[in-house]
Amino acid sequence: MEANLLEVKHLQTHFKTEDGVVPSVNGVSFSVAKGETLAIVGESGCGKSVTSLSIMGLVAPPGEVVGGEIWLEGQNLLALSKKELRKLRGNKLSMIFQEPMTSLNPVFTIGNQLGEVFRQHRQMDKKEARAHSVEMLEHVGIPNAEKIVDSFPHQLSGGMRQRVMIAMALACNPALLIADEPTTALDVTIQAQILELLKKLNKEFQTGVILITHDLGVVAEMADRVVVMYAGEVVEQADVFSLFAEPKHPYTKGLLGSLPKLDENREELDSIPGSVPNPLDMPDGCAFHPRCPAATEECKQNKPQLQEVALNHLARCFYA
């Protein structure tokens, strides 16, 4: 079997706040194979975004990666110097964000910002960089790229900006692309365009993709494998088909049951009672037990481990 592109082992990222230490990511492990799309799902505060920032080496104080290993193509990212990491970012390792407007600098043209990537990582001169920029813009489906390359971010629509961000992220043909809620800020019909584009590019470049989202529809559409996170931990991990067909963890089951679906009419949706626990005041035992319909005494006292409950299907539950 081929070695994995990315291997994350027992990652721990903590935020030291005035009121105490928040373990945003608490011992998370997963891997991404070449050309694979791994989705990380969870609700706000579950640690999915912090996980991705940890991989990128972009966790800002008061946050800090306090433990674990992140191996990208045989290199431990956590052992690299800041300079080496910067060389990697935008080159081997890329990221696109939810809000493309804030990720683009408003005072530079698209060509300027996209060309910067080529100039920095590929040592191209200005003319070459521009030519490559136009080519890249065409690649992500931007019409009359020759013109767009000279426009400023505010002159483009949200969908176009996200395309530009994708072009920038893919400019140096990265081995791993992290997409953090890439379509959440977009309209449905534009989301469909961007998802199609990501699929096409994933196939074409054989890029490994980590897709971070709260939208289970997007997961079902895009992912090969899925990691479900709750309160800073992985609670379930499986290939996309098993996860949707046979979710093992009560949280995953609850999430799937709470979705209104287009192809059915239900009077009442299932719902998970309560809300996500306060990270400074985590419940004892299983973090999900206060909201779990099947919780027992054991769940209140002991912490379940992530274990294989079916072939390549992991769940963190005593009763899975």
Partner 1 sequence: MSLPLESQTAQAGSVGQAVKKPGQLRRLARMLLKSKTGTIGLLIVIVVVFMAVFASAIAPHDPAKTQAAQRLKPPMWMEGGSPANPLGTDNLGRDVLSRIIYGSQVSLMVGVCAVAVAGAIGVVLGLVSGYFGGIVDNLIMRTVDSFLAIPNILFMLVILTVLGPSLTTLILVLGFTNWVKYARIIRGEVLSVKERDFVRAARTVGASDGRIIFTHILPNVISSFIVVSTLSVATTIIAEASLSFLGLGIQPPTVSWGGMLSDGRQYLATSWWVATFPGVAITITVLGIMFLGDWLRDILDPRMKARAK
Partner 2 sequence: MDQTKEPLLVVKGLKKHFPFKKGMFSKETGYVRAVDGVDFTVYRGETLGIVGESGCGKSTTGQMILQLLEPTEGEIWFEGKNLSTLGKAEVRTLRQHLQMIFQDPYSSLNPRMRVEEIVAEPLRVHGTHKGSELKEKVVELLRLVGLDAHHMSRHPHEFSGGQRQRIGIARALALNPSLIVCDEPVSALDVSIQSQVLNLLKKLQKELKLTYIFIAHGLPAVKHISDRIAVMYLGKIVELAERDELFANPRHPYTEALLSAVPIPDPTQRKERIVLQGDLPNPANPPSGCHFHTRCPYVQDVCRQTAPTLTEGAAGHFVSCHFPLAQSQEGVMG
Binding site for partner 1 (CB under 8 A): 15, 17-19, 22, 24, 44-45, 49-50, 53, 56, 58-60, 63, 89-90, 95, 97, 102-105, 108, 112-113, 116-117, 180, 275, 278-280
CB of 160 to partner 2, least distance (A): 7
Other CB atoms within 10 A of residue 3 CB: 11
Residue 196 makes CB contacts below 8 A (sequence gap 6+) with none
**Integer CA distances (angstroms), 260 to 251, 254, 264, 267, 318, in order:** 16, 12, 8, 10, 28
CB of 189 to partner 1, least distance (A): 26
Contact 153, 106 (CB under 8 A): yes
Query: Does 241 contact partner 2 by CB under 8 A?
Result: yes
Query: Does 292 contact partner 2 by CB under 8 A?
Result: no
Using the Cα atoms of residue 231, residue 27, residue 208 and residue 179 in order, give the sign of their dihedral: positive
The binder of partner 2 chosen from 265, 281, 297, 311 (CB under 8 A): 265
Residue of 84, 85, 22, 98 lying closest to 55 (CA atoms): 85
Residues in the interface with partner 2 (CB under 8 A) total: 48
Is it true that the peptide bond before 62 is cis, omega within 30 degrees of 0? Answer: yes
What is the dihedral angle through the alpha carbons of 114, 116, 122, 127, rounded to the nearest 10 degrees? 80
CB of 172 to partner 1, least distance (A): 11
Closer of 110 and 198 to partner 1 (Cβ):
110
Closer of 24 and 183 to partner 1 (Cβ):
24
Residues at the interface with partner 2 (CB under 8 A)? 43-44, 157, 159-160, 187-193, 195-196, 214-221, 223, 240-241, 244-245, 254-263, 265-273, 275-276
